[in-house]
Amino acid sequence: MIVQRITLIILLFLSGLSFSQGQPLFESIGYPDGLYKTKEDFINKKPSEIRPLVIKEIALINDTDSVIHRCYFLDKETNKRIKKIFAVSYNGDLYFSNWAILKYKNKADKSLSPASSMNAFVLVTIWGEKYFYAEAGLVNHWQAGLSSGVAAGVGGIVGRELGEAIDNSYPVTTQFGTGVVWDIEAKEFNIFRNCQDFNHFIENYPVEQIDCGNEKFELTRIREIVQIIKD
């Protein structure tokens, strides 16, 4: 198990290094560039539309990585944001929209709102035959003491209010957000709301579960496990 974890850590490091240099570690995620407006278009790997886009990064606190993890997409001709579509494949990278994640999430993932905007997109960083993994900026608006309207409102919440909302909702949330997978077979998103929820998700896989009482629940550990089960 120790050797396996060391190997995975090395792979994740190389993957992160490759991304930071602007080159994907693997050939391609397999989705032609374009807009995927519906879930069906995405499943069939057929872009609904191809048009020139501009990517606008959402700056993350203490993030020095050159990779754009969260962003908006704008129509290059009109300068208007791309809204209410499932995904965008852009220069070989795949991005899911917050709108799609929340619309097509597992029914157990309740009371969630985006910390920024429904029209923001998040980068897929790990992918395989079973799962596509991303990290979205989501908050549980009841735990955070916010109404869903405030958390998901025009422009979202910002500054100290946003930071406190995320901290109150997910104490272990980093600037990269909350782990999310697109389940290819189930055709839905599964959001890892907490340690127990994640352990339930992986309980049928031959992997070591997280000791929720003693082990810190963090994204690094989630990435390691998803790397194992993605295929």
pLDDT digits (tens, 9 = 90+) for 136-176: 888 765 454 444 333 333 334 444 555 454 444 433 334 56
Tell me how far apart the alpha carbons of residues 129 and 108 are, in angstroms, rounded to a whole number: 23
Q: CB burial class (10 A; 0-12, 13-18, 19+) of residue 9?
A: middle
| Token reading at 148 | 């869903």
Cβ pair 74, 53 in contact under 8 A:
yes
Q: Does residue 135 sit in helix, strand or coil?
A: strand
Domain-by-domain residue ranges, the chain?
A: 2-229
Backbone angles phi, psi at 141, to 5 degrees: -70, -20
Cβ pair 58, 75 in contact under 8 A:
no
CA-closest candidate to residue 119, choices 35, 41, 61, 226: 35
Task: Note the pLDDT of residue 181.
Answer: 98
Low-confidence ranges of the chain (pLDDT < 50): 1-27, 142, 144-159, 163, 165-174
pTM as predicted: 0.77
